Amino acid sequence: MSDGIGIEDRAGYRVITLDRPEKLNATTAPMLRALRAAFEAAACDRACRAVLLTGAGRGFCAGQDLGAVSDMSDPAQADLGALVEELYNPLIRALRRHPLPIVCAVNGIAAGAGANLALACDIVLAARSASFVQAFAKIALIPDAGGTWILPRLVGDARARALALLAEKIPAEQAAAWGMIWRVVEDAALIGEAEALCAYFATQPTTTLGLIKQALLASSANDLDAQLALERDLQRAAGQSGDYAEGARAFLEKRPPRFSGRT
Ligand code: T3D
């Protein structure tokens, strides 16, 4: 464990665990820096082909540690914008632009920036007992960590508005029914299912999965023509990979493909 996170290597993937269970893994500056560094290191490690993010204890993440925000006595001096710019924005960018699939196992409450950290991952599984809350308005803040960008895209404008303005806790099943997350899993099965997903990704065409993420990220800003042009360019890159040759060959030979990952 270092700076409130744990890092563990498995065969073909890495598990990153938010590890301040006594505070429901509320984030501090060292923790956010360590988290970003861990994701950057995973991106550079050729043996790592997926990342699993989860939380220790009964919560996933309660957002910013409100006790760690410096001077609450003089709000006029506080610059939360600087904190967001230094710590949260680079982390969310790093997740969305990460070349590897990121699976998030939400094991309990995901609140504030903790909720949006989970939603920035590629595939979000949540324990049946987990819940999500855009807690910000309850403390007179706005949703950050990409919340105002990703929520309307995931659940539509009407639900995003209610979630942000009311700051009501919603259960995992509701989140899945609204398309906010991929799937709800029984509590006892959560980690096993998330690990199985990462183990599956560790056998897949990693570079191409990164290109798929790149295309999906760009689609939110592109018009159709720009997106079609991007698909052309990325497909050219995918088509020149050894993994495409292997995938097509394996199909024709009626056998499972053996993807090398980063070719
Ligand atoms: O710097 C900035 O502020 C800008 C960036 C903002 C990003 C944000 O994330 S703002 C939103 C911050 N998060 C919140 O407002 C959520 C606060 N927490 C809660 O509302 C509740 O704790 C939960 C709904 C998440 C869970 O409730 P419950 O009843 O299951 O647990 P609890 O008893 O409230 O919490 C357990 C412990 O964790 C408790 O500590 P204690 O009393 O046992 O020593 C509680 O104080 C601590 N804790 C929970 N959340 C935070 C926290 N400590 C510090 N910061 C927290 N965010």
Predicted confidence at residue 81, as pLDDT, reads 96
111 CB near ligand 1 (under 6 Å): yes
> 195: which residues sit within 8 A by CB, 6+ positions away?
10, 15, 52
Predicted confidence at residue 72, as pLDDT, reads 65
Residue 168 three-state SS? coil
Structural domains for the chain = 5-201 (3.90.226.10), 206-253 (1.10.12)
pLDDT tens string, the chain, 263 residues long: the values are 469 999 999 999 999 999 999 999 999 999 999 999 999 999 999 999 999 999 999 999 999 999 987 666 677 678 999 999 999 999 999 999 999 999 999 999 999 999 999 999 999 999 999 999 999 999 999 999 999 999 999 999 999 999 999 999 999 999 999 999 999 999 999 999 999 999 999 999 999 999 999 999 999 999 999 999 999 999 999 999 999 999 999 999 999 999 999 77
Mutate to test the pocket of ligand 1, among 19, 22, 23 (most ligand atoms within 8 A of CB): 23
Closest CA to 145 of 87, 97, 99: 87
Q: Half-sphere exposure of 70 toward its Cβ, with a 13 Å CA cutoff?
A: 10
Closest atom, ligand 1, to C-alpha of 64:
9
Q: Given the structure tokens 């910000």, which residue do they identify?
A: 136
Predicted confidence at residue 243, as pLDDT, reads 97
Predicted confidence at residue 71, as pLDDT, reads 62
Predicted confidence at residue 1, as pLDDT, reads 46
Compute the distance from residue 129 Cα to the ligand 1 centre, in Å. Answer: 18
Phi then psi dihedrals of residue 158, to 5 deg: -60, -45
Which amino acid is present at 61? C
What is the H or E stretch that residue 97 is in? none
> Where would I find the beta strands (DSSP E) of the chain?
5-10, 13-18, 51-55, 59-61, 102-106, 109-111, 123-127, 131-133, 170-171, 183-185
Closest CA to 121 of 153, 84, 92: 92
Q: Report the predicted TM-score, pTM, of the whole model to 2 decimal places.
A: 0.97
Kindly report the protein residue whose alpha carbon is nearest to atom 11 of ligand 1: 112
First to last CA, the chain: 33
Predicted confidence at residue 78, as pLDDT, reads 81
The residue length of the chain stands at 263
Kindly report the protein residue whose alpha carbon is nearest to atom 18 of ligand 1: 62
Closest atom, ligand 1, to C-alpha of 133:
24
